[in-house]
Amino acid sequence: MVMLRLAAEQYRKLPILVDEETCLGKTYVITGGNSGLGLETARRLVAASAERVVLAVRNLKAGETAKKDIEITSARKGVVELRHLDMSSYESVQSFAQEISRSLDRIDGFICNAGVMLDAWSETENMETSMFVNVVSTLFLGILMMPNLKERAKSFNMKPNLVFIVSVLGYTTKREMDKSRKAPIIDGLNEKKRANINSRYALTKLVEEFAVREFASVCSVEKTDVIITMVAPGLCNTGLGRDAGRITKVMHEGIRAMMARRAEEGSRTYLHGLLGGDEGHSRLLSGCKVKEFWVPAWVTNEEGKTLQKGISDELASILESVQPGCVSQLH
């Protein structure tokens, strides 16, 4: 059912949600903003008169190329700024969050877009790399930014949007998730012998969704004035998977050739998550609509909520050991 819905949506025309003045005077931050959907979203925001668009990139040379490209196509200079961010490092995430909070007087939207798709086991910060980058450091960054977003919401009487990128492919990995339902869950997810690396990307997106749902429930709009959304952009022609092996690349290129959206079209789903209202908080967005009805019952029922809480508690313990107080301050 998940794959049928995804396939059907791939061919639907998505609305253009911005015009020349939609983002006038506003500031946005996009991680992984030098290519793919991040780049195209940044291009749209600049064309919509954003005052500042910060691209958080691992490779500053690639970031500079992206910046020049946006400036040429939008005919606007002095808007795009670059910041270094390596999502495979706790220290880099901490430094970036501190620097951004200090240097930007306002943040209207923040997109946690950076992620990896790997088909071989590797480890970063004592954890399998894709689980670390797509889940642990991504949530860490969102958590570290929350105090700043709350403060800016109050100062400017607005509601910033914090956007996480998920995938409905995650719903196909229930069997893989079931291998690690018993505590400690994250330790189980970090066992090489237990893992099916071919479904790893989808699994990380499912785990991320559980973590974001708990994060959003703790940080309600009523409490924070920050809107936390989860966007599933669908299959798009991007560089995702460029770090995978040749066979995986060929397979994905074949699938993309048949049904993938252009990156510009996919970026419209990001803009929907970034510019939408309270109704999107803690809910799945896809195809520029709320698609909470797509979410399987086993994700949101009591068993799912138990798993969600377990993942979040373990993640909190990990992050508190890295930066004491970062999670407890949310409550």
* Active centre residues (catalytic): 167, 201, 205
The two three-digit tokens of residue 108, written as one number: 């209207």
C-beta neighbour count of 86 within 10 angstroms: 19
d(CA 166, CA 183): 24
The two three-digit tokens of residue 308, written as one number: 């969600």
d(CA 187, CA 191): 7
Residue 194 contacts residue 180 (beta carbons within 8 Å): yes
Q: Which residue has the tokens 């299959």?
A: 235
Q: Classify burial at 156, counting beta carbons within 10 Å of its beta carbon; exposed 0-12, middle 13-18, buried 19 or more.
A: middle
Q: Is the dihedral of CA 88, 91, 93, 95 positive or negative?
A: negative
